Amino acid sequence: MIESAQTCLRDVCKARPVAAAGYIGGVSPQDRYVSRPDQGPIREITVTDLNQATRAHVQQSSYDYEDLLAVGRGEVFGMANAKLPLPPMLMFDRITEISATGGHYGKGMMRAELDVNPDLWFFGCHFKGDPVMPGCLGLDALWQMIGFFLVWSGAKGPGRALGVGELKLFGQVLPNVRKVVYNVDIKRMMRSKLALGIADGWLSADGETIYRARDLRVGASTAMQSGT
């Protein structure tokens, strides 16, 4: 879904793809742990606006790991629309809550979780003898979530990260952490030829908030096809 942290890490880590029989898409949860123009006038819109414009998917309020893999393969929202990255770049195991009207601003929210294990793919290469989850992966997870929220809301076209206003990191995700929780609160959704989501987000490790981000921006548009 998002072109971001792969660029950050491609010269640092090389993840080995793994297939496992018996799981949807040939990927089991354990596999993550293996060396794992003219835009026209823009107006603010609501999730309801997008839903009425176009949406075939029946919205769920939560998604499990197999659901996320199906989204990544384009089986839920369509190959031409925003998708989640597949492992190892998928940065959460489940979406525990997603709402079109909740959140701090009352315009939508989403929460997701990652189960942390010392064998997660990035710990082995970032860094040798000093394992820590790269901060850019935590940021990318928040972008992934906003992209998911856009397509869940009915936006069409591929999704891309467009920026972040401010990011502060107060701590680290180390191998002894048990669970990471991500949260995004939608601030604005706008549309012309581009559906744009703007949100604030945070990341917590075992209940302690260690990342805060303001004005995260993700767009979705049919003009964002690869190579165009």
Q: Mind telling me the catalytic residues?
A: 126
Helices (H), the chain: 5-9, 47-53, 65-72, 135-152
Which are the contacts of 116, defined by CB distance < 8 A and separation ≥ 6?
133, 173, 175, 177, 178, 179, 180, 205
Name the phi and psi angles at 218, rounded to 5.
-135, 140
Residue 213, beta-bridge partner list: 167, 201
